[in-house]
Each structure stands twice: as C-alpha cells, then as structure tokens.
Structure 1
Amino acid sequence: MKDDSDAHCPRCDAVLTTPDDRFSTWCAACDWNVDPLGREGPKSLARELARHESVFRRTVADGPDVAPPGAAAYGALVLATAVNLATAALVVTGVWLLFTGTVPQRILGAVELLAAVLLFPRPARPPRHTAGPATAPALHATVGRICAELDARPPDLIAFDAGYGSRWAAVGWRRRRVLVLGLPLWETLAADQRLALLVRELAHAADEGQPRARWIRSALDSLVGWEDLLTPDPAPAGRALDPRHPLAVGGRASNIAHVGEMLARPLLGLLAQAAHLLHSLLRTLDGRCVDQAYRADRTAARIATAASAEGLLQALLLEEPAALALQRLARHGDDLWAALRDHLASVPDSERARRLRLSELRGDASGSGYPPTCLRIRFVRALPRTEPTVTMSAAEARTVDLELAAIRSSVAQECRRNA
C-alpha cells in the first residue's frame, strides 16, 4: 500500500493517486492507462456499443417489457422459422429417401438423418458438485419461495463449479434443468446479493420458457450445430501423413482424394461461416437477450431490493481480479474462500471505478448479446427502491453455508489441483 499524490498523468497532467500497489494507476480525467493491456476491440465494437446505448435509452423510457422494433421482431421470427424448417426438412427428406428411394437415394437419406442427429445438442453429464433437496433443504426452500413469487418451475438440481458466474445447463437424455452457480462468486457475495443472484437466474429461466423464446432458441441451437458440423478439421501443418492415409499412398486415387479435399475444405469453411453469420444476425434481430437481462435485473430489484441487485452487478465487474486472486491463493493452505473474500473486500474504490469505466469503453459483454454491465448498473440505479418480497434471514444464510460445507471443501481442492 502506498499513497503517491505527487504523480501526474503524462497525458493531461492531472494528479494521480495509487492507493494500492496491486492495481494499475490510471487517470479518471482522461482515461490514461484505463486498460493497461491496451486491448482494442473489433471495428464493429463501436456500432454494437451504440446499439446497446440506444436500447438502454428505450428501456429506461418504455420499460423492458416493450417489444423490440416490429421489423426486427418479425425478421427474427422469419429467420428462426426458416432455420427450424430447414432442419425439419432434413429429417423428413431423409426418412422419405431411406424408405422409398433407390440405393444411392437411401444412402443420401441415411446421411441426412445422421446429420440431423448430429445437430441435436448432446446430453451433458450432471455437474460434479450438486446440492439436491435432500442435502441442501434450506437452499432449495429459498429457491422455492422465489419460484412461487415468479410463478416459475424450480430447477431440478442446483450445482456449483469453480467459475465466477452462473448459468443454466440441461443434463441427461431427460434434459433436466440444472442451475449452476460459480462458488467463487457465491462465496464473495452478501446474503442479500446471493438472493439477487438466485432471482436473476430464475427470472431468466422463466423468460426462456415463453413459446417465442423456445422457438428462437431452437433455431440458435441448430445454427450452432450446423457450424460445428461444417467446420473442417484443421489441416495438418508440418506433420508427416500417416502411411495408411489415402493421400500418402500415391497414384491416381491419391491425386483425386487430394483434389477433393482441397475443394471441400474451403467450401465447408464458407458454409460454417455462413451458419455463424446467421447465428449472429438472429441474435441481433431478436434482441431478446438484452430485454431478458433488463427484465431479470428489474425482477431481482423488486424481489431482493435494487441495492442488492446493484451490489451483484458491481461484483461481476471484479471477475478478472477474482480469477487471478483465486489462482494465487489456491497455492496456499489457508481457507481459500475466506482469503478470496478478504481480497475482494480490499479492492479500492479507484480500481472498482476503473473496471466500471472499462465496461463503458469496451462493453464487457460484447459479442454475447447481453448489455454491458455498466448499462445494467445504470438501469438498476434508476429503479424505485422498494421493500423485498423474499428475504433470507441470518439463520437461513448460516444454514445454507453449513449445507454447502462439503461442496466448498471439494471445489477448493479442485482449485488447488488446477493452480
């Protein structure tokens, strides 16, 4: 720790202060050294940030429940319908050719059905660190109260991992819904902020259950499958071919195979790129991710207070220093989660302000379809302050901590092995 109030900004000569040696010195007046790594985003970043700013102004003025512009909404539905119908046509024509066609047509039908099967998302395995209703009744009781307030179906499982965030997963052939919470984030949040995290994720899940959302989600999943299916394997560079490879045998067949591979690789690459562009276009036209994020934040502010929702979003800005600290602290034998909490609690206000400014300049959620965290914080700050409709008492919070003791220990050991 040091206080160097005599330092001056090399760009605008403003007085700089370095409250903590662990973090970068920067100038709040001219943004000098706000990004010490000098990361430059793509050329489209400015347009994307401008679009997010426009949507933010519309959301503040009209609310997140107002549908996006008609042309964009209809365009998203038309594109999603075309993608879903193309996938369905693949199955229908595959079955028809397989049972009614000639031998070559049956082979083509089998190939189409195989491609259709590969497009379906693979069933994921259940997460390793799960907290079921039997092992974590207090946590599930809190989730149940939130779901009753939202009129939503509770998750089948709640799981924890070593990430700094939260997500939903569908596991097994039955596609059971699992809420996955990052334990490093969970452990550094206050009880009311944990409640806001649960509300936000459960509100997301309720929003995804709408018919329009499911239809567009199906098209997005299909496009991801098309991109994965069409992306060619990287060409072996500087590596001798296996003697059994057809291109290493030599002769006429080898030449034909070589020419065929040369022609197929760029064609598959173009088709994969087309699927990627259609995926980006559908997300942009839909605008659902943006509205979902604001609706979930508003719901978190209503059920768990706006201050709790803002505290959660402020904590999300510290993802990078939390990951670095977790990796460093995992090499020591101390209580990992207590040490991580102490580290993030000691982050000075100047570093928090730098992270917020970096979100404004770079759009930390750029490319994901979600609005930058800085805009979500501004949105929550503009919401009315109301009393929470669901609360977690201190006794309940302690009970939840006791229920998760084994998971905390297991994830900490996992972090130490990976450090």
Structure 2
Amino acid sequence: MTCPRCSAATVTARTAAPWCPSCEWNLDLFEPDRRRPELGWKWADRATHRVAWRLTTGQFAQLAGGPLRQRGSTAARVVTLTVGVLLLLFVALLAGFGVWLILYDFPQLTIVPGVVLLVLAGALRPRFGSLDDEAHFLDRAEAPELWSLVDRVAAHTGAPVPHLVGLDHSLGAYTTTVGLRRRRVLCLGASLWSALDPQERVALIGHELGHFVNGDLRRGPFEHVALTTLGRLASLTHPNGEGGNGIVDMIISAVQWVLAHLIMSVQLLVVWIGQRDAQRTEYLADEIAARAAGSAAAVRLLDVLLLHDALDTVIRREARAQRSGAAWQEAAVVARANLAPAVPVLRQLSKRDETSLFASHPPTGLRARMLESRPQQAAGVVLTEQQAERIDHEIAGPVERVRRDLASAG
C-alpha cells in the first residue's frame, strides 16, 4: 500500500492500521480497539484523542525550536496548587465542624452528624505517600558503588541526592517524595537495570533525579493533594447501587450520581491541566539525562522503553529458568539486536498509541526525536564496565529475590 499523500510505501506494526513513515499520513488515526477506554464513550474518546494530538504535536514543535528550561509559576501549577489548598481547607472545615457538632451542648443528637463529618474528613485527609513494600532499599554500606554513581549524577545535574535508593521488580523506574518530611526516593527496576548498558544506566538515574529539579508539580505536597483527593471524594459520593426502590432512595441515588460526576469532571479537568505541564517536565528530565550520560545514551534508553513488552517476556523467561543477573543482560542484548530494525517504526507508532489528554509522559518516540533535534551533549558522568560490574555484584541479592518473584508470578 502506498501513501495517498506522498506515494511512499506505508508501514505498520503490532496490528495497527498502516501509516506513512515519510509524511505521517494516517498516523493520527484513533484506534479504540488498541487503546484502553478513557471517558468510556468512543465518540468522546475519539474527540479527546484529536485534541490531545494537536496539543502534543504543538508542544513538541514549540519546545524543539526553543530553550528547554524549568519554568516558574505556570498556569497548571497555579490551578493545581489552588485546588490543593482549597481541598485542604475543605477537609479542615469538615473536621472542625464535626468536632463542634460533637461538643455542642454535649450530649445531644448532633453527635451523630459530627461523627459522620469526622469520618468523612478522615477519609479525605491528605496522603503524602509511603514506601513501596515490595521494593528493597539499599543503604550506602550495602551498595557503595551504586550510591557513588547516584552521588556523581546528582552533583553533575544539580539535583539533590535522594534519601533512599531502592530496587523493585519492574521494567521501569521512578522517583517520589514520601511522608511529612518529604523524603526523596529513587527506585530502580531490576529488570530494566539489567537490560541497559552502563551509560544508559547513567541516563536512567539522570532522568529520574531530574524530576527533583525540573519543576514537576507532581512532587509538590499541595499539588499531590489536588491530584488524589478529588478522586477519593468522587468515590465516596458515588451511589453504591444497594439502595432500595422507594422514591427517597431514588432521589438520594440521583443526587449522589450527579454530585459524583461533577466531582469527577473537576478531577479530570485538574488532571488534564496538570498532565500538560507534566509532559513538559518529562522533556526536561530527558535533557538532564542527556547532560549526565550523553545524548546518544539518553536516546538509546528511550528506545529500550519502546521494547518494553519484548524485554519483559525474555527476562521473565530467564527468571522461570532460574537465571538472573548476567543471563538477563545477555537475553536483553539479543532481544534488542533482533528488534533494532523495528525501532524507527515503533517510535512513530508510539505517537499514535501514547497520545492522550491524561498521559503524564509525551509519546516515547517524540521524546527520542526531541533529544536528537537538540544540540548533542557529551557524557558528563561515565560509568565504566568495571564499575557497572561492581554495582551488579552489590545488588545480586535483591535481584535474585526479584527473580523469584517474577518466576512465581508466571
């Protein structure tokens, strides 16, 4: 099949409808059968996909041609911060009014609604995150070489050093802040770590630490409240479907339904506004990764993410065969080599599949293209093969525990 616009041969992958790799004709096609529903109606999901496509491509064009720096008080940050503060005040008012009702002319029947309000305030109280029970956290004595690498990347990028560094079973990585003291956490997926070469590992750490300095509003305590509390409030007000058939029950259920959907609409709006800003911070985190590891390594890291499913399959296969560590690395090298010719097509397909109003990350292919379009950077932090081997030796115990978990999961 040839492109009706430029006559180039079309391409396809993963059962997707064909598109033109040259002019990208038909790449913006909405394919509901290949996507998870977002709003629940195909017509609405198709409409939001079109809007997301324009916003995503527009943001890329804007950032690719200009400086990529952290911004201060963006509209998204102001809106999200305002919503977070208002929600905290609402919860405080609920708790305060509940206490007043309980103590007013005690004892009186007002105790009952007072207790209800206190329970509601407790359910809506702000959560500041907690440590993942499945992650294994490594202290400096247990993994000095890994901590040294984290220190070097933090120093080079100007990011603060995390308080905790952990390892879990995922084919990914994340940073977060937890608790009232807002302790910084870096968690690396053992499966992903094993699939990367030394400089790609530097890029991974550089990207994750970059979220501590790139203005990512998801790391702020008030912004976190805005992004999570509305969802809990919608769940609490949603009718449970167990009411009676009387007219009063029907009216209560109808009011609950309307209230829950109004709250959900506000939540979707806040998330949408926040995710636009979050996607910009992902581009900036990629730039920080390139500063640490070099542009070439940062691009290779993004290409590895495109191969997530294939790498997950081969690593789980090795885990079931009671092999880990070096065996995972060897299997990943073979899989990456076999799939390398498909990477350009998968980059383009990610633009179709990953474009969404509610996506926290830009399409992976656009992230790689962004780095390639900018001035190329040399590695600021170099991880030698010997240093990488010492890190692998330090984390061999936790990786073996991850292998057992993957093997038992099937």
1:178-257, aligned counterparts within 5 Å?
A: 178-207=185-214, 213-233=220-240, 235=241
1:164 and 2:174 matched: no
Which range moved further: 167-176 or 373-382?
A: 167-176
Give secondary structure in 1 for the equivalent of 2:161: coil
Contact 1:94 1:113 in 2 (8 A): yes
Which range moved further: 148-157 or 263-272?
A: 263-272
Select 1:39's aligned residue among 34, 39, 45.
Answer: 34
Mark the runs of 5 or more structure 1 residues left unpaired by the alignment. Answer: 1-8, 237-246, 248-254
Contact 1:138 1:396 in 2 (8 A): yes
Select 1:285's aligned residue among 273, 277, 300.
Answer: 273
Mark the runs of 5 or more structure 2 residues left unpaired by the alignment. Answer: 38-44
Which range moved further: 215-224 or 204-213?
A: 204-213
Select 1:359's aligned residue among 346, 350, 361.
Answer: 350
Q: Which letter does structure 1 place at the counterpart of 2:358?
A: G
Residue 398 of structure 1 is matched in structure 2 by 389
Q: Which letter does structure 2 place at the counterpart of 1:280?
A: L
Mapped to 1, the partners of 2:31 and 2:269 lie a distance apart of 33
The offset of 1:107, in angstroms, is 2.9
The offset of 1:224, in angstroms, is 3.1
TM-score, normalised via structure 2 length: 0.79
Mapped to 2, the partners of 1:272 and 1:168 lie a distance apart of 31
1:415 and 2:406 matched: yes
Which range moved further: 49-58 or 272-281?
A: 272-281
Contact 2:237 2:259 in 1 (8 A): yes
Give secondary structure in 2 for the equivalent of 1:206: coil
1:312 and 2:301 matched: yes
Contact 1:65 1:291 in 2 (8 A): no
Q: Deviation per CA, 1:249-268, whole angstroms, max 9, x where unpaired?
A: xxxxxx68x76655544544
Which range moved further: 404-413 or 55-64?
A: 55-64
Which range moved further: 192-201 or 379-388?
A: 379-388
Contact 1:35 1:358 in 2 (8 A): no
TM-score, normalised via structure 1 length: 0.78
1:294 and 2:283 matched: yes
Which range moved further: 153-162 or 133-142?
A: 153-162
Greater C-alpha radius of gyration? 1
Q: Which letter does structure 1 place at the counterpart of 2:34?
A: R
Which range moved further: 275-284 or 339-348?
A: 339-348
Select 1:137's aligned residue among 103, 121, 144.
Answer: 144
Contact 2:169 2:191 in 1 (8 A): yes
Mapped to 1, the partners of 2:303 and 2:82 lie a distance apart of 38
User: Structure 1 residues 272, 165: CA separation in 2 closer, same or farther (over 3 Å shift)?
Assistant: farther
User: Structure 1 residues 97, 363: CA separation in 2 closer, same or farther (over 3 Å shift)?
Assistant: same
Q: Which letter does structure 1 place at the counterpart of 2:94?
A: L
Q: Which letter does structure 2 place at the counterpart of 1:53?
A: T
Q: Which letter does structure 1 place at the counterpart of 2:98?
A: G
Contact 1:163 1:182 in 2 (8 A): yes
Residue 99 of structure 1 is matched in structure 2 by 103
User: Structure 1 residues 406, 14: CA separation in 2 closer, same or farther (over 3 Å shift)?
Assistant: same
The total of aligned residue pairs comes to 389
Q: Which letter does structure 1 place at the counterpart of 2:260?
A: A
The offset of 1:375, in angstroms, is 1.8
Residue 260 of structure 2 is matched in structure 1 by 272
Give secondary structure in 1 for the equivalent of 2:185: strand
Residue 242 of structure 1 is matched in structure 2 by none
Give secondary structure in 2 for the equivalent of 1:198: helix
Residue 40 of structure 2 is matched in structure 1 by none
Contact 1:365 1:372 in 2 (8 A): no
